[in-house]
Amino acid sequence: MNRLLFFIFSFQLFITQIYTEQCELTLNDETQLTFNTFLQAKKFCSSISLPTKNTRRIILTGRLVDYTTRCKRSITDANIEIIHIQSDLRSVCHELHHPDSRGSYTLSTFVTIPSTERLFLRITSPGYETVLKEIIIPSSEKRQKNIILKWQIALTPSQEQIETYQQQQGRMDSTIDDLMSKMTLEEKIGQLNLVTVGFDVTGPIVSENVDENIRLGRIGGVFNTFTPKAVRPLQELAMNHTRLRIPLIFGYDVIHGHRTIFPISLGMSTTWDMASIETSARIAAQEATADGLNWVFSPMVDIARDARWGRISEGAGEDPWLGSQIAAAMIRGYQGSDLTQSNTAMACVKHFALYGGAEAGRDYNTVDMSRITMYQYFLAPYRAAIDAGAGSVMTSFNEVDSVPASANRWLLQDLLREQWKFNGFVVTDYTSINEMVDHGIGDLQEVSARALDAGVDMDMVGEGFLKTLNKSFSEGKIKEQIINQACRRILEAKYKLGLFDDPYRYCDDSRPDTDIFTNENRLAARDFARRSFVLLKTDRKTLPLARSNLNIALIGPLADDHRNLIGSWSAAGDWRQSVSVREGINKLVGSQTQILYAKGSNLVEDEYMLKQLNAHGGEIELDPRTPEQMIAEAVEISTRSDVIVAVIGESQGMTGEAASRVDIGLPECQKLLLKALFDTGKPVVIVLMNGRPMTLKWEQEHAAAILETWFAGTEAGNAIAEVLFGLYNPAGKLTTTFPQHVGQIPLYYNHKNTGRPFNASQFTDKYKSRYLDIPNEPLYPFGYGLSYTTFNFSSINVDKTELRGDSDRLTVRVLIRNTGAYSGEEVIQLYISDPAASVTRAVRELKNFKKIYLRSQQSEEISFVITTEDLKFYNTNLDYIWEEGDFIIHVGPDSVNTQSIRVKWLK
């Protein structure tokens, strides 16, 4: 029996390896864990018995954290051991594990029930007290084959560690006290001024006399300048020509990669893969800091429910829970565990707050929402970023409760600093102090004083602080203590970045060659890209395409394009280095397959749109041929092919900042092309590139398959080829709802029920919340995404249906089976509804998910542990509480196709 089991495991491992080599699919952690833990246990613990009927697998999972620095800090350097001790107190074995780069651990061991041994968890980490905890299996769990215990473990620093913290804090305080005691008021105000100069223009005006102002000590930081070569002379001006030699901080919009460009942020979010998201930020920080920078204006964590808003492309979608996980992962990635390292950068969470709520999806427009909606649906990701230790926050352009964010004391003081305990610094967005004059709350002197008083520490570009604070001070309108406080926060940031020790630590001329645009970074970019793709439609026979003996018509204005692939906000990325779809396909299958290419149409022909796009680097050249001639060529090659791959969508400039649209469909000229392609009767695979949810109802009806690829970055073409030809099975899931029609917007999955909910089966009912012309449903819901394979979800199994109190736990189990012919990943999503509460609740809310990899015909039981934390919401007093009653738990592959079960949870 033992030999048989071992043979099965070895065989599975063997298959996995073959598959991995052939298809470059990597096993995900969970799957790997099963084998590795088993093999490891076998190797080190000879007395451990192989699984039998009474064997239970105990899976311990959670994070190691340190709360002493106020912000939760992950502990990554630790030994985690499971110790089995026989009843005669003889230790039978140790199994050693380590947390990952996020402090997360998952480890498992086998025990026999009833057990003759006791299990302990021991954690040792340098600088912390050792933790020894007995692992007691709850009796309700004993019958389960897999017993999951979720433990977040807080380690207590040793006395020595506490002293080190205190010393560090003390050293910082005394350095800054000493420095500030020498600073004049003008020099202090100078620190609050951030200017733009250099390679990029990201706003309506640019700073002037920068060199001169640095020399005069009137500048605290610079952005849009990078490369050690360009940064060093500016830093030298500050270090060699100012009285107090205070170093400058150097920032930039590093949003989805720095030089190696990853998918746009919306695309990264559709990976539902926190490890990839964190790694993408890590690589971006590595490249940015090698390029002279130490401060990144990211993550952008604004929740957005309106696809017309161009900046929906920059965020993580519509869900506050998922957005929070992503925000924290990005902060960990950028800042690492030590900001003084020369390869970590300070993050800047933006745009605080509610920027995504712009009315009518028009950028910079007014935002108006109730406090409870803010707390319940919009604020969580900012908070998560702050809890993860974000060093800075950027204000938003919009107003919050009728006061612009940059002068909103409630927002920046009461909420951010008092409730959330933020201790970094606040910078405005680009000229947003000056823009408060247009908002209508005062002249420049007035709005600058209000911004400082509200809690802004640094003024981006507008120079309102520089020009008016001194005057306001002498007129008694602001106190010196507030200027001191803002100045101190900027100096602290510089201190934390290690700039007082070495102002040139990010100006190492040798690093660009070794750290930037490396092969590894490009491979990572390719992997993130293919993980971000969402298969919106498949007829299950056209894709994946055969790698040989196939005639392909590759058509579309984006099929051979480079300019648009890196998307908007692509930092220092060079689009010329990106791989087009045509190049990617040719490289992969060009020798075995016939690929005929035609552009088919222009990207856009509408003159109003074209002029605007080209005025800001769109570089869209109109083809000299008529639309009819281009379409005729595309149709001609299609008739000679087996399948059409149409690469179409938006140009990169059609989303991003100041890029709102009212029509979120494909541009008309591309629709004409598509119609002609559909008319050929050949199967059409649409490869979409875009930065927002689009209206695709007609396309959905006629295409054989639709692959959403966003703007996938430097490696877009290679990644798209790998997915089209089945080297990677797409597994992305939407993080924004795709409407059927633009008139449905705002449309989001976590909406309220209303008092007259519409029931589609009684669609002639008049007095219901609905439209007369189309159903309420979206085209593709939140969480949606298909695969080349199929997954079957068993019905939900819960360990109890009645629970009581805060310490109770609900375990939800579902068996997932890969019922198709391909290996693939599935995202198992858990939603909770609270059908009766003191305030109205969303119809359902995402509370957890797991992404698993299953080979064809393989099954895996997935469990989620629900605690009362998952039931909490804000009541009318804005207390974060849970109320007893019924709850409905939903599990499924998206937010609509779920299985549900009702439980009762009492106080």
22: amino acid identity, one letter: Q
Q: Which of residues 651-670 bind ligand BGC (CB under 6 A)?
A: 657
* CB-nearer residue toward ligand BGC: 249 or 723: 249
| Cβ at position 429, least distance to ligand BGC in Å | 5
| Cβ at position 297, least distance to ligand BGC in Å | 4
* CB-nearer residue toward ligand BGC: 144 or 398: 398
| Cβ at position 224, least distance to ligand BGC in Å | 7
Token readout for 784 is: 């949606």
Dist CA 777 CA 748 (whole Å) = 10
* Cβ-proximal residues to 357 (8 Å cutoff; 6+ apart), any chain: 303, 305, 367, 368, 369, 378, 398
* CB-nearer residue toward ligand BGC: 81 or 363: 363
| Whether 231 contacts 250, CB under 8 Å | yes
Judged by CB under 6 A, the residue of 95, 117, 187, 253 near ligand BGC is: 253
Q: Does 84 interact with ligand BGC (rule: CB under 6 A)?
A: no
| Whether 283 contacts 260, CB under 8 Å | yes
Q: Does 291 interact with ligand BGC (rule: CB under 6 A)?
A: no
Give the total residue count for the chain.
907
Asked about 302 being catalytic, the answer comes back as no
Beta strands in 808-858, from DSSP E residues, in sequence order: 810-818, 824-833, 845-854
* CB-nearer residue toward ligand BGC: 394 or 543: 394
Which SS3 state, helix, strand or coil, does residue 404 take? strand
* CB-nearer residue toward ligand BGC: 430 or 738: 430
Q: Does 297 interact with ligand BGC (rule: CB under 6 A)?
A: yes
* CB-nearer residue toward ligand BGC: 655 or 818: 655
Give residue number: closest CB to ligand BGC: 202
Q: Does 187 interact with ligand BGC (rule: CB under 6 A)?
A: no
* CB-nearer residue toward ligand BGC: 297 or 864: 297
* CB-nearer residue toward ligand BGC: 349 or 677: 349
* CB-nearer residue toward ligand BGC: 66 or 253: 253
| Cβ at position 396, least distance to ligand BGC in Å | 8
Q: Where are the alpha helices (DSSP H) in 650-803?
A: 668-679, 697-702, 716-724
| Cβ at position 617, least distance to ligand BGC in Å | 15
Dist CA 242 CA 604 (whole Å) = 51
| Cβ at position 400, least distance to ligand BGC in Å | 16
Q: Does 364 interact with ligand BGC (rule: CB under 6 A)?
A: no
* Cβ-proximal residues to 687 (8 Å cutoff; 6+ apart), any chain: 556, 558, 581, 645, 646, 647, 648, 707, 709, 720, 724
| Whether 853 contacts 836, CB under 8 Å | no
DSSP 255-308: -S-SSS--S-HHHHHTT--HHHHHHHHHHHHHHHHHTT--EE---B------TT
| Cβ at position 392, least distance to ligand BGC in Å | 11
Q: Does 378 interact with ligand BGC (rule: CB under 6 A)?
A: no
Q: Does 515 interact with ligand BGC (rule: CB under 6 A)?
A: no
Angle at 359 between CA 357 and CA 363, to 5 degrees: 80
| Catalytic residue (choose from 291, 302, 387, 429) | 429
Among candidate residues 725, 668, 494, 643, the one with its CA nearest the CA of residue 24: 725
| Cβ at position 494, least distance to ligand BGC in Å | 19
Q: Does 430 interact with ligand BGC (rule: CB under 6 A)?
A: yes
Dist CA 48 CA 111 (whole Å) = 8
| Cβ at position 351, least distance to ligand BGC in Å | 6
Q: Which of residues 192-211 bind ligand BGC (CB under 6 A)?
A: 202-203
848: amino acid identity, one letter: N
* Cβ-proximal residues to 759 (8 Å cutoff; 6+ apart), any chain: 765, 768
H/E stretch holding 742: none
Helix 581-589 to helix 716-724 angle (10° resolution) is: 50
Q: Does 733 interact with ligand BGC (rule: CB under 6 A)?
A: no
The conformation of residue 197, written as its DSSP 8-state character, comes to -
* Cβ-proximal residues to 10 (8 Å cutoff; 6+ apart), any chain: none
Q: Does 350 interact with ligand BGC (rule: CB under 6 A)?
A: yes
* CB-nearer residue toward ligand BGC: 394 or 478: 394
Judged by CB under 6 A, the residue of 302, 306, 429, 860 near ligand BGC is: 429
Number of C-alpha atoms within 13 angstroms, CB side, residue 805?
2
| Cβ at position 738, least distance to ligand BGC in Å | 25
Q: Residue written as tokens 């064997």?
A: 55
Among candidate residues 832, 826, 872, 834, the one with its CA nearest the CA of residue 848: 832
Dist CA 595 CA 551 (whole Å) = 6
* CB-nearer residue toward ligand BGC: 258 or 850: 258
| Cβ at position 538, least distance to ligand BGC in Å | 36
By rule CB under 6 A, what count of residues binds ligand BGC?
8
Q: Where in the sequence numbering do the catalytic residues fall? A: 429
Q: Which residues bind ligand BGC (CB under 6 A)?
A: 202-203, 253, 297, 350, 429-430, 657
